[in-house]
A and B are shown apart, each in its own frame.
Chain A
Amino acid sequence: MDYHELDDSYLVQLITRAHADALGELYDRYGRLVFSLAFNIVGDEAVAEEITQDVFTSVWEKAGTYRSDQSRVSTWLSSITRYRSIDILRRRGARPEQYSVPWGDLHAEMIPDQISTDERAEELILQKRVRAALAELPAEQRAALALAYFRGYSHSEIAAELGQPLGTVKTRIRLAMQKLRNLLDEEDHA
C-alpha cells in the first residue's frame, strides 16, 4: 500500500487497525509541525521531542477517538500538542523571564512566494496564509492572543503581563479570534 497517497483521515483509520506504517506516514506529514509547536511553547528541544513522542503514542493508542466530521487531522494533532505542552509548562511553573512570542516580527519571516513541488509546499502555503492573517491584526490584539495561545496564560495573567485592564484583554482576544476566523474562512472559500 502506498501510504503517501492516502488522505489524513484514512491514515488515522488505518492506525485504529494497527497499521504502524500509517503512523510513520502521519509522523512524516505532521511530526515537524507538532515538534515546532511544542518547542515554541516549552522552549526546550528535549522536552519538545518528549511531547512529540507522547502525542504520536497517544494517536496510536487513541486514534479511534478522532472525529473526522469535527476537525482536520492537523487540528486534532495541534490541539493535543498545545494542551500537553501548556500542561508541562504549568506543572514546571516555568515563566520565562525573557518573554518572546513567535509572532514578534511576522513580516521579517522569509517565506518564499514561489513554491515548487517541494513536499513542504502545503505546509509553507498554510504558514504564509496564517502569518498573513495574523499580520492584519492590531499589534495589541496579537500580543494578547500570543500569550493565550503559546503560554496558556489566563485572562488575568495576560492582563498583568501586558499591564492592561482585564476587560480590555478579553475584548482584544475575542476580536482577534473573530477577525482570524473571518480572514481564514474567507480564504477557505476563495
Chain B
Amino acid sequence: MAVEQHIIELIPEYVLGLLDPVESQQVEQHLQACAACREEEQAHRQVVGLLAYSAPQKDPSSKLRQRILQVPGTQAIQATEKPIPNQFWQKLAHFFGSPSPGWVALTVFLFAAWLLSALLLGAQIYQLRAELARQSPLQVIALKGTESAPEATGVLIVSVDGTHGALVVDRLPKLDEANEYQLWLIRDDHRESGGVFSVGKSGYGVLYVSSEEPLSSYPSFGITIEPAGGSPGPTGEKVLGGDL
C-alpha cells in the first residue's frame, strides 16, 4: 500500500517528464502491474494534453499545410492512389496514337477473345452461386459501404426458415453517443427497422436480427445513421447496403 501511494504521488511528475531515469523506470514497472495507477496516469496525461489549450493560440503561415502534405512520404502515397490507371490510359492513348492496320486487327481479335472468355466465366460463376445457394442452409447477404463509408463492409446471415439473422459489420466509423446505426429491411417503398447497434473503436459490430415477416422476404437491406434509440424511418446518411 505504501509503495502504491508513493507511485501515485509520483505520477504527476512522471507524466510531465520531471522524474530522473531511475524513478521513471520504477513508475513504469509499477504501472505495468497496477490498473488503478494506470488509470491515474491516463487521467494526468489527459490534463497535460489539455494544457496545450492554455497557451495563447496563434495561426501558422498558410503555406505550412501545403508543405506538410508535400513531404516525400505523403506525396508518394497520394500518388499511388490514382496514378496507376492514369499511366495506363496515358500509355494506351499513346499506343493508339498512330495504329497500323495490323495492330488494329490484332487488337479487335484480342478484345473479342477477352469478351468471350469473360462471358463464359460469368456464366460459370452464376452456376456456382446457384449451386452454393441450393446447398447452403443459410443465406448470406453481402453489404457494401456507400460513399459515406467506403471502407465499411458487412454481412447479414439469415436462418434456414428466414425468421432470424445476424448482422456483422466492420470498419464503420465509431459514432458519438447521440447517434446509432439502424438496420432497415426494405421492400418497395416500405422500410422496416431491423434494430439499432453501435460499433467499437475498431469499427466492428454485431446485431441479432428478427422480424415478424421472414427476413428472406425482403429484397434489400440498408444501414443508416440515426439518433440514439433509432427512428421510425430512415432519416440519416446511408452507410451500408445490399440486396438478397
Residues of chain A having any CB pair with chain B under 8 Å: 1-2, 5-7, 9-10, 13-14, 17-18, 20, 23-24, 27-28, 31-33, 35-37, 39-40, 45, 48-49, 52-53, 56-57, 60-61, 68-72, 74-76, 78-79, 81-83, 86, 102-103, 109, 123, 126-127, 129-131, 134, 148-150, 152, 154-155, 170, 173-174, 176-178, 180-181, 184-185
Contacts and interface: CB of A to CB of B under 8 A. Distances in A.
B217 to A, nearest CB: 34
25 contacts: A6-B173, A7-B173, A10-B173, A13-B203, A23-B69, A31-B60, A32-B60, A35-B60, A36-B52, A40-B55, A71-B42, A71-B46, A72-B46, A75-B48, A82-B48, A102-B55, A103-B54, A123-B57, A129-B53, A130-B50, A130-B54, A148-B18, A149-B51, A178-B12, A184-B47
B150 to A, nearest CB: 6
A143 B149 CA distance: 47
Residues of A contacting B: mostly:
helix
Contacts of A72: 46, 49
Q: Is the interface of B mostly helix, strand, loop or mixed?
A: helix
A32 B61 CA distance: 10
Interface stretch (B70-78, B135-143, B190-198): B70-78
A123 B49 CA distance: 13
Interface of B: 9, 12-13, 15-18, 42-61, 64-65, 67-69, 71, 73-74, 77-78, 80-81, 147-151, 173-174, 176, 201, 203
Contacts of A177: 12, 15-16, 44, 47
Contact of B49 (A49, A75, A131): A75
A14 B78 CA distance: 13
Given A31-B68, A60-B74, A75-B49, 18 more contacts: A1-B148, A1-B150, A24-B65, A24-B69, A32-B58, A36-B55, A37-B55, A52-B60, A53-B67, A60-B73, A70-B45, A78-B48, A78-B51, A102-B54, A130-B53, A131-B53, A155-B18, A174-B9
A31 to B, nearest CB: 6
A87 B46 CA distance: 21
A102 B56 CA distance: 7
Given A52-B64, A79-B48, A81-B52, A154 B174 contact: no
Given A27-B68, A37-B52, A181 B74 contact: no
Contacts of B77: 18, 20
Contacts of B13: 155, 170, 173-174
A85 B81 CA distance: 33
B65 to A, nearest CB: 6
Shortest beta-carbon contacts, A-B, top 5:
A75-B49, A177-B12, A78-B52, A35-B60, A40-B55
